[in-house]
Amino acid sequence: MSRELTEKESVSEYVKSLALFLAGKGIEVHIVCFSSSPEEAKLGERIHVHKVPFIIHGDSLFNWSMLMNNELKRKSREIFEWKGFDIIHGNDWITSTSAISLAKFTEKPLVVTIHSTEKERGFGTKHSSLISDMEWWLTYEAGCVLSNNEGTYSSLRNDLQLPEEKIKLINPLQKGWQNEVLDIYQKFQNGMMTCFNGEKSSIEG
Amino acid sequence: MEKSHLSKDERMRILMATWEFPPFKVGGIASHCYDLSRMLASKGHDVHILTYGDKRSDESEEGVSIHRVPSTYAPDTISWSMFLSHQMEKKAIELNKEERFDVVHAHDWMTVPAGVGIKKLLDIPMIFTLHSTEKGRSGIHDSYTKMINDLEWYGTYEAKQIITVGQDFYNEVKSLFNVPDEKIHYIRNGVDISKFDTNKADVERSDYASDWEKLILFVGRLSHQKGIEYLLGAIPGVLNQHPDTKFVIAGGGALEHYKSMAYRIGIGHKTYFTGYLPEDSLISLFKKADLTVAPSIYEPFGIVALESAAARTATVGSYVGGLKETIIHENTGLHSYPAHIQSLCDQINRSLWDDDWRKWMGSNARRMVQENYTWDKIARWTTGVYGKAMELWD
């Protein structure tokens, strides 16, 4: 789940790169994101892109995103009923409500990548506190939280008070980073509750 | 309330979202949802209320399951309600796992994000009741009020069926949001008259007015929409003809603003601003009042006239919105022109001249409520709308 899937935008590139890697491993990937017009496309073999529009512009990014997420929920629920899926991967606070609700609805594990926190972005809008709350809820509900760099890792630890064992620093500029994400997916499939310390937190039985 | 039994096929599992629910009450939506949910439960339906609370709680009252979820600090009401809606949605997912809901029923714009989210995730039809519109309440004059107007439109667009609470208001919603005929219904509000018959609270009339004074009651939020300034403007003209009159103004809102306005006009000694009063005290006041006034300039339904009627007290109210229906001129009360000080003053004076006539109108008003505004009928009509939404959804 991603806000958008465009060219040369960092979160989009992250999502595309991961999707291409996973597809190369024979894994089916569905990307659900916002777009000004609806589109069902394929990014390659086994990668389905579902772009959903939302017509209300909203008076702020926060309010717009809270409503736009309803469309992400609808599309994701349809995919789940159509083909099912094993893992939900949310990207940044902007997919919070759909990622959280979908994980609860489907009872599938939630992995989240926080590309930057509101605190890192400067806490500069009147909705910053709410956005930070949404980041907290998203990371709280996630089984594993991925951060892309030291700064975000530190903010997740210090500003959002995430426990160390829940965060994994995976730098998407380093070769083979996608393999590490796949490892985490596989741990979840094998019933691990958190990224690491699997022995401590694996589901009994 | 006696519980009826429905067959498994007739019984509906209903999820109702409202931002306010007793004992937490700000406007009329809380009472509406309280009475409607109790009546639906008494008919054998499985009714769940999702609402705001300082902390999470699950309660059960008269067959209705009430689930309260908190929100968080927010810079404005829209974003506060967005956050609240997400908490409601999570609770709805949890409850839906116990047994699938048949419908989600959202009340006013503040629960539209929750209603739509629940609809889209749980794949169930949404019913949307509008109690008023932003255009009517304050007008659309900036990006904030436009966003509320957009949320109201979004609710009407996403809902399978829409309920409006007044005949005039039905037309307002239909034209404002371009709603097709087959999607929108008018189901009037109601009053639980048993509350008026069994009310235990007994406010002392002497706390509000002298024995020789007539007590005229205003109940409502102190805001421009309720026309309070027109009432204050009319009071000198009433006192001129009926000097032994006291105006009791009950309700929260811009209390200090209107209090100082009353003193500026020179009627401070003849007005009593009570501030917010609990429901049982209000019922007692309605019963003790000689007349109720409802000078609103915008009123989708006008519940005050019905509550007054249930207490056998006639109402002088503006000929606007729902008050056109809830007052029958010269039969259950009197109509005045909206936003017209002289007209309001004349009608109050007319009613005060003849005590017997005024009491006769009060008795007629009570009969009107008994015959036409019971929750039993309203609940039946509402389940009819639920049924239609479910049929169209399938």
| Confidence (pLDDT) at B4 | 66
Tens of pLDDT, residue by residue over B95-110, are 999 999 999 999 999 9
B119: confidence class by pLDDT, cuts 50, 70, 90: very high
- Please compute the mean of the pLDDT values over residues A11-32 and round it to a whole number: 97
pLDDT of residue B272: 97
Task: Give dist(CA B203, CA B205) in Å, integer.
Answer: 6
Residue A175 has pLDDT above 90, yes or no: yes
- The minimum CA-CA distance between B89 and chain A, rounded to whole Å, is 7
**Would you list the DSSP string of B58-84?**
EEEETTEEEEEE-----SSHHHHHHHH
Could B121 and A101 be called an inter-chain contact, meaning their C-beta atoms sit closer than 8 Å? yes
Q: Examine the pLDDT at B366 and tell me if it is beyond 90.
A: yes
Q: For chain A, give the percent of residues with pLDDT over 90.
A: 88
How far is it, in rounded angstroms, from Cα B21 to Cα B374? Answer: 20
From CA A12, how far away is CA A34, in angstroms rounded?
A: 11
Local confidence band at A197 (pLDDT 50, 70, 90 cut-offs):
very low
**A202 has a pLDDT exceeding 70:** no
pLDDT score, position A199: 42
Residue B7 scores a pLDDT above 90: no
Question: What is the number of other CB atoms lying within 10 angstroms of the CB of residue B340?
Answer: 19
- Using alpha carbons, list the distances in angstroms from residue B176 to A57, B109, B139, B189: 19, 15, 12, 21
Q: Are B202 and B271 in contact (CB under 8 A)?
A: no
pLDDT tens for each residue of A124-166: 999 999 999 999 999 999 999 999 999 999 999 999 999 999 9
CA distance A113 to chain B (A): 20
Mean pLDDT (chain A) is 92
- CB contacts of B154 in chain A (<8 Å) are 56, 67
Q: How confident is the model at residue A201 (pLDDT cuts 50, 70, 90)?
A: very low
Distance (Å, whole) CA B380 – CA B185: 13
pLDDT in tens, A98-119: 999 999 999 999 999 999 999 9
**Distance from C-alpha of B218 to C-alpha of B331, rounded to nearest angstrom:** 20
Report pTM: 0.91
- Indicate the pLDDT class of residue B2, thresholds 50, 70 and 90: low
CB A3 within 8 A of CB A95: yes
Hey, what's the torsion of the CAs at A118, A185, A74, B49, to 10 degrees? -70
Which pLDDT score, from 0 to 100, does residue B203 have? 87
- Candidates A50, A70, A130, A131: best to mutate against B (most CBs of B within 10 A) is A70
Report the complex ipTM: 0.93
- Whether B75 has its CB under 8 Å from any CB of chain A: the answer is yes
CA distance B42 to B16: 16
Q: In B, which residues are within 8 Å of A134 by CB distance?
A: 83
C-alpha distances in Å from residue B174, one per residue of A59, B92, B181, B382: 24, 30, 8, 19
pLDDT for A192: 60
The rounded distance, in Å, linking the Cα atoms of B132 and B115 is 17
Residue B198 confidence (pLDDT): 83
Provide, as residue numbers in chain A, all residues whose Cβ is less than 8 Å from the Cβ of B72: 130, 133
pLDDT exceeds cutoff 90 at B302: no
Per DSSP, the three-state class of B316 is strand
> What's residue A43's pLDDT?
92
* B12, B354 Cβ separation under 8 angstroms: no
Q: Check B116 against A104: CB less than 8 A apart.
A: no
Q: Do A101 and B73 touch (CB under 8 A)?
A: no
Mean pLDDT to the nearest integer, B268-273: 96
| Distance separating alpha carbons of residues B391 and B376, to the nearest angstrom | 23
The predicted structure's pLDDT at residue B202: 76
Residue A200 has pLDDT above 50, yes or no: no
B76, B93, B154 member nearest A56 (Cβ): B154
Do residue B79 and residue A63 have CB atoms under 8 angstroms apart?
Answer: yes
| pLDDT value at A204 more than 70 | no
In this predicted structure, the answer to whether residue A203 has a pLDDT above a threshold of 90 is no
- Measured CA to CA, the distance from residue B85 to residue B342 in angstroms comes to 45
pLDDT of residue B287 exceeding 70, the answer is yes
Please give the structure tokens belonging to residue B1.
């309330």
d(CA B63, CA B303): 25
Selection from A37, A56, A50 nearest residue A2 by Cα: A50
| B244-260 mean pLDDT | 95
pLDDT tens-place string over residues B200-213? 777 899 999 999 99
Q: Which of A56, A66, A74 sits opposite B82 (nearest CB)?
A: A66
Strand partners, A165: none
Q: Do the Cβ atoms of B79 and A70 come within 8 Å?
A: no
| DSSP codes, B326-357 | H--BTTTEEEE-TT-HHHHHHHHHHHHH-HHH
In angstroms, the separation between the Cα of residue A179 and the nearest Cα of chain B is: 32
Cα nearest neighbour of B93 on chain A = A105
| The two three-digit tokens of residue B245, written as one number | 């009159």
Mutation for testing the A interface, residue in B120, B145, B151 having most A CBs under 10 Å: B120
Mean pLDDT of B57-75: 96
Higher pLDDT, B26 or B81: B81
Strand partners, B173: none
The pLDDT of residue A195 is above 60: no
